[in-house]
Amino acid sequence: MSEPSPERSYPARPMVGIGIVVLRQDAVLLIRRGRPPAMGSWSLPGGAQELGETAIDAARRELLEETGLTVGDLTLVAHADSIHRDTEGRIEYHYTILDFAARWQGGEPVAGADAGATAWAPFEQLETYALWSETRRVIAAARTVIGAAAPP
Per-residue pLDDT tens over the stretch 8-52: 899 999 999 999 999 999 999 999 988 777 788 999 999 999 999
Per DSSP, 115 falls in state E
Distance (Å, whole) CA 80 – CA 140: 13
Distance (Å, whole) CA 144 – CA 1: 34
Task: Report the pLDDT averaged over residues 115-130.
Answer: 93
Domain 15-146 has CATH 3.80.30.20: no
Task: Report the pLDDT averaged over residues 118-122.
Answer: 96
